[in-house]
Structure 1
């Protein structure tokens, strides 16, 4: 029996978040241990591996984890205020919900990120990144903090703690680059909600649609990764509250689930398989490039999916995420599948996974593959003519060591994420809650709030506040 239009399942949001955290792990494993998975083949005119085929390559090639988090940020930030405003008809409560959410968002992101950065700083000071600094994986070396004397490392920690939120640069955990735009994006959603909360439905939808279009026609960096996905999340949250839309989807549930949603997913997945580079190494990716990126063959114009001057890889991934989001929205069966308790558990731990996985991969993961000591190691010197010699990097011990590293890394990451949520995240939540109680008035407006507004609280029950003597324009009777 299907749910009534105003009781639709939204647990799928947590399940999608859980799958996304797994995808983030997959892409960083590929980046660290098997980078050719980002290509359509290992070499030009070479054979294509199973995981390099369309659709199957999506988990390893990356580019979709952070945009999905952006979409979910837009959905989650908008859902409760919209529900208060349009299902319960309480616009003041909706605006207060926006205010409280806006207050909670910075400490709930900044405090855990700062703790994760500090842990990486401690490991760096102990020399835990030596193997990562010397391995033959370029992206591992790029992500790992370079060794510095202890006092300089302390200075780098304080600098990084600021630049994470000013320029997205975190030298101890480069995976935190997305934290700042996600924080800014949440406030983008809050502003849109506050500005449109009193509009009629069709005009609110017009605003959401224009925002999605605006960010997609904007070819500046990452507009499709954050701006468009945030606006899409707000749009889906809006439609989730619209009873006529939900009634229509309920009425045509079988058609949406078994026909429309699969077609959308197939089209989106094929386009989203566009490779990171070397798109001319396989016929299917070469065709995608010709149709989507360079239809004229001379770089003079783009397409609707990839406008001229836009990042082709991120645009195709954004298209896939939009198709996935729409398919989930119209298909109760997909929503139910994502509502499995295991996926919800993964989703509950997804933020912790995002914060801890990079540090574990660059330490324990690299220790297994390359050795803890990072030896033997010979720094590159100079040639007789004074030019720099080519650096010889450490090679993996064996394929079996890579497989062992993947298993240990994955198990350790989710164990650490469980511990993080049990202790660290709980402490951060309590600190944020304490701040919120100090800053905001209670529902019935506490004494401190009344006093700030010029009212005394000597009348007992607080329901009929009396003006303070110092603020009286007339003497007391």
Structure 2
């Protein structure tokens, strides 16, 4: 049975889109890295997917900004609502439990995914990917540990030190997850620090924190987190009537403006007039040493989400059951897609070259490895959709059978930590139909 409809479930749709963009971005980084620029070569023509709005096939930075925005919004919403109700005790209880739960719901599934990536590596499943011509995939491959003991030591190091450095040996795309955890803690600290302040002052403090993050180079995490917190305040202000606040076409124009700004290319923005003008304008406001593309994309992403917040049509689209499905499996997709790219995708795209190779370990006269060549257009035409089907099917399986167990484990830890009683589950007696508590 599908889960019930949740309040603000349009956020699930946004989360699902963000994760899908991350995957497509990594595919493009692997097979078409030139898409990160606004044109193929300086002075040359632009590919359709290098144009504004269409560039989201390589919009990983916009997707990451969106993830942090959602982190600020979701984690602040319930405590802020309880503070609005004047129930300080419930607000603090909710804040404490949310802090505990958020940590467990990030750490436990991520460590499970790290273990899975380690296990795949130990079976030598990276062998093919280590010989392909896609540098982005090839660069993240590893050989199994020289000994069982050394492999176990590496696993333990990745399960622990990863949360300090963000560097995972077996899946480099996990680097953002410690930042998600830190972002959650920023939310809880800000909410706790403003618990007794008036509503207007709390909003002013959130705006100040956003500007403080701007001046300090916090375009990756802090700015987006605080922007999400402010939207949580607006949600508490307007509730369901938010979609009728602005004139009919205003939210659509806001979304289009945000999408245009978020299209800012990661590399060589001066190669096209549209990105060059954004570069010149934004450069006047970015602090010294700040990464301009992250600032621009973060601002654009924030504008998009605020436009969606005020748009009835956008919310309805993002609340569609399909959008909610890809949102529910988004975290497993994020955790697993890199491992599947280095195994499943590598075989789907390079199987013909691998089957015809005499030796996968062959080297040229200079001692450099002879790389396998990718398949042709038809290989990609069938291989990429097949990869997405496998990825989302596996993510769904992971959600049902791994994530659910991780969540039950976190819930058990919460009950122990907060001194709560075990939940009572009622079952009907077979003989007399009486309820039996177990």
TM-score by length of 1: 0.81
Tell me the distance in 2 between the aligned counterparts of 1:117 and 1:106. Answer: 16
2:363 maps to 1:379: yes
Residues 159-188 of structure 1 show CA distances to partners (whole Å, capped at 9, x for unaligned) of 111222010000111111011111111111
Q: Which residue of 2 aligns with 1:370?
A: 350
Q: Which moved more, 1:115-124 or 1:308-317?
A: 308-317
Question: Which residue, 283, 306, 317 being the options, matches 1:326?
Answer: 306
What is the correspondence of 1:264-303 to structure 2 with a 5 Å cutoff? 264-292=254-282, 302-303=283-284
Tell me the distance in 2 between the aligned counterparts of 1:399 and 1:179. Answer: 35
Q: Which residue of 2 aligns with 1:109?
A: 106
What is the correspondence of 1:284-433 to structure 2 with a 5 Å cutoff? 284-292=274-282, 302-304=283-285, 306-371=286-351, 375-379=359-363, 382=366, 392-433=370-411
Tell me the distance in 1 between the aligned counterparts of 2:121 and 2:304. Answer: 39
Q: Which residue of 1 aligns with 2:138?
A: 141
Q: Which residue of 2 aligns with 1:252?
A: 245
Query: When the two structures are aligned, how many residues end up with a matched partner?
Result: 412
Q: Is the CA contact 1:30–1:61 (under 8 Å) kept in the aligned structure 2?
A: no
* 1:277 partner SS: coil
Q: Is the CA contact 1:39–1:275 (under 8 Å) kept in the aligned structure 2?
A: yes
Tell me the distance in 2 between the aligned counterparts of 1:59 and 1:431. Answer: 36
The structure-2 alpha-carbon separation of the partners of 1:233 and 1:290, relative to structure 1 and needing over 3 Å to count, comes to: closer
Q: Is the CA contact 2:264–2:296 (under 8 Å) kept in the aligned structure 1?
A: yes
* 1:41 partner SS: coil
Following TM superposition, by how much is the alpha carbon of 1:25 offset from its aligned partner in structure 2, in angstroms? 1.5
Following TM superposition, by how much is the alpha carbon of 1:258 offset from its aligned partner in structure 2, in angstroms? 0.8
Tell me the distance in 1 between the aligned counterparts of 2:153 and 2:17. Answer: 37
Following TM superposition, by how much is the alpha carbon of 1:230 offset from its aligned partner in structure 2, in angstroms? 0.8
The structure-2 alpha-carbon separation of the partners of 1:381 and 1:121, relative to structure 1 and needing over 3 Å to count, comes to: farther
Following TM superposition, by how much is the alpha carbon of 1:329 offset from its aligned partner in structure 2, in angstroms? 2.1
Question: Which residue, 37, 42, 60 being the options, matches 1:44?
Answer: 42
Q: Which residue of 2 aligns with 1:125?
A: 122
Q: Which moved more, 1:54-63 or 1:207-216?
A: 54-63
Following TM superposition, by how much is the alpha carbon of 1:22 offset from its aligned partner in structure 2, in angstroms? 1.2
5+ residue gaps in structure 2? 1-5, 422-438
Following TM superposition, by how much is the alpha carbon of 1:72 offset from its aligned partner in structure 2, in angstroms? 0.8
Q: Is the CA contact 2:76–2:187 (under 8 Å) kept in the aligned structure 1?
A: yes
Q: Which residue of 1 aligns with 2:230?
A: 235
Question: Which residue, 195, 198, 202 being the options, matches 2:196?
Answer: 198
Tell me the distance in 1 between the aligned counterparts of 2:29 and 2:94. Answer: 40
Tell me the distance in 2 between the aligned counterparts of 1:381 and 1:407. Answer: 38
Residues 379-413 of structure 1 show CA distances to partners (whole Å, capped at 9, x for unaligned) of 3665xxxxxx6654322132222233211210011
Q: Which residue of 2 aligns with 1:157?
A: 155
5+ residue gaps in structure 1? 1-7, 293-301, 383-388, 444-477
Q: Which residue of 1 aligns with 2:253?
A: 263
Q: Is the CA contact 1:37–1:61 (under 8 Å) kept in the aligned structure 2?
A: no
Tell me the distance in 2 between the aligned counterparts of 1:193 and 1:286. Answer: 39
Q: Is the CA contact 1:17–1:347 (under 8 Å) kept in the aligned structure 2?
A: yes
* 1:358 partner SS: helix
Tell me the distance in 1 between the aligned counterparts of 2:243 and 2:51. Answer: 35
Q: Which residue of 2 aligns with 1:3?
A: none
Tell me the distance in 1 between the aligned counterparts of 2:364 and 2:243. Answer: 66
The structure-2 alpha-carbon separation of the partners of 1:380 and 1:182, relative to structure 1 and needing over 3 Å to count, comes to: farther
Q: Which residue of 1 aligns with 2:27?
A: 29
Larger radius of gyration: 1
Residues 228-287 of structure 1 show CA distances to partners (whole Å, capped at 9, x for unaligned) of 1111111111121125x876x46534x1x412x233223322222221212233333333
Following TM superposition, by how much is the alpha carbon of 1:58 offset from its aligned partner in structure 2, in angstroms? 2.0
Following TM superposition, by how much is the alpha carbon of 1:414 offset from its aligned partner in structure 2, in angstroms? 0.6
Q: Is the CA contact 1:121–1:172 (under 8 Å) kept in the aligned structure 2?
A: yes
Residues 20-75 of structure 1 show CA distances to partners (whole Å, capped at 9, x for unaligned) of 12111111111122212212122222221111111101232421222211111111
Tell me the distance in 2 between the aligned counterparts of 1:380 and 1:159. Answer: 36
Q: Which moved more, 1:166-175 or 1:28-37?
A: 28-37
Following TM superposition, by how much is the alpha carbon of 1:140 offset from its aligned partner in structure 2, in angstroms? 1.1
Q: Is the CA contact 2:110–2:335 (under 8 Å) kept in the aligned structure 1?
A: yes
* 1:63 partner SS: helix
TM-score by length of 2: 0.88
The structure-2 alpha-carbon separation of the partners of 1:349 and 1:250, relative to structure 1 and needing over 3 Å to count, comes to: closer
Residues 91-126 of structure 1 show CA distances to partners (whole Å, capped at 9, x for unaligned) of 101100110111112221111111111111111111
Q: Which moved more, 1:336-345 or 1:306-315?
A: 306-315
